[in-house]
Amino acid sequence: MRRPFFGALGRDIAVVERDGIDLIHVDVRDRHFVPNTTIGSTVVRAIKRVATRPLDVHLMIEDPDRYIDDFAAAGANMLSVHGETVPHVHRTINYITARGVTATR
């Protein structure tokens, strides 16, 4: 029987943290900006509960401004967006940092 994709995520995070990683990078895809989909803020929140390293969340999605609050509340320490997905990237960066999250590129 094949294990669920996220079934051992907590265990896998513990393994890579024990091996010395500095942060956990999470790609969020929406099937619009990129052709496949991955996870959302609910899974980021679950990762945050078990991870001891910072979470670097990469929003590869259309209209990421709509979701910044969700991912900040879920525990993202860092958020990055694609400049071509927002009308004013400087406003998006300010919006991210105003929530206590580091804007990365």
Residue-level pLDDT at 37? 74
- Judge whether residue 6 has pLDDT over 90: no
Range of the domain at 39: 22-103
Contacts of 49 (CB under 8 A, 6+ apart): none
Range in 7-11, 26-30, 35-39, 54-58 the model is least confident about: 35-39
As a whole number of angstroms, the distance between CA 50 and CA 89 comes to 31
Q: Token digits for 43?
A: 């899974």
- Segment of 1-15, 18-32, 64-78 carrying the highest mean pLDDT: 64-78
The CATH number for 55's domain is 3.20.20.70
In a domain, 9, yes or no: no
As a whole number of angstroms, the distance between CA 38 and CA 26 comes to 9
**Per the structure, how many domains does the chain have?**
1
Phi, psi values for residue 98, rounded to 5°:
-65, -20
pTM for the full predicted model: 0.87
Collapsed DSSP state (helix, strand, coil) of residue 65: helix
Between residues 48 and 104, the one the model is more confident about: 48
